[in-house]
Structure 1
Amino acid sequence: MAIELPRDARQQAIASIERYAQTEWDQRLGNVAAGALLGFFLEEIAPLVYNQAVADVQERLQQRIAELDIEHHEDAFGYWRRREPPAPRRR
């Protein structure tokens, strides 16, 4: 699955890469070069981040599913227990 960015996000990412190159490397990087670098990152590195995010979400969902029975458990046959007088306290 190729990771694609919406047009606006892609333009902002390219501008950010250009700014980073200028600020951190003191090197002007053109729009085409920054776009190519972004494309490389999206194809080569972004899947690692994406896959880790999916794994994190899967783990969290599994934890939540495991907690469902605890959070949403209802005891059956409680009608008569609620109607019984409390047991006398022993001293």
Structure 2
Amino acid sequence: MTDITFTADQKARMVSKIKSYFEDELQQEIGGFEAEFLIDFFAREIGPYFYNRGLFDAHQVLTEKMEEVGYVLQELENPEG
């Protein structure tokens, strides 16, 4: 897996959400610089778990859809062949 990177706009939105969370839920203030470090930490240390879960979920959906394709192909078979 390659490093997770975000656009400046995405990172700014995440910083805003982290700052709001700290203020609303923890009654603490966190600066933008600290919030960016927290994002980098989560991307590096926690991100792979979310990435792997996303791959697992995508694999399950793809497997289910391929089974459906198999059934459709069976229905198309010529009974005389």
TM-score interval, normalised by the smaller of the two chains:
0.7 to 0.9
**Matching of residues 61-76 of structure 1 within 5 Å:** 61-73=62-74, 74-76=76-78
- Partners of 2:47 and 2:70 in 1: CA distance: 36
Secondary structure, in 3 states, of the residue corresponding to 2:30? coil
RMSD: 1.5
Pairing 1:39-54 to 2, within 5 Å after superposition: 39-54=40-55
If you compute each CA radius of gyration, which structure gives the higher value, 1 or 2?
1
Equivalent residue number for residue 38 of structure 2: 37
- Counterpart contact for 1:18–1:30, Cα < 8 Å: yes
1:4-43 superposed matches below 5 A: 4-43=5-44
Report how many aligned residue pairs link the two structures. 78
Unaligned runs of 5+ in 1: 79-91
Whole-angstrom CA distance in 1 between matches of 2:9 and 2:58: 26
Higher helix share: 2
Name stretches of at least 5 consecutive residues in structure 2 with no aligned partner.
none
TM-score normalized with structure 1 length? 0.76
Stretches (4+) displaced over 6 A: none
| Aligned mates of 1:67, 1:77 — CA distance in 2 | 20
Among the aligned pairs, what percent are the same residue?
Answer: 24
TM-score, scaled relative to structure 2: 0.84
CA drift of 1:67 comes to 2.1
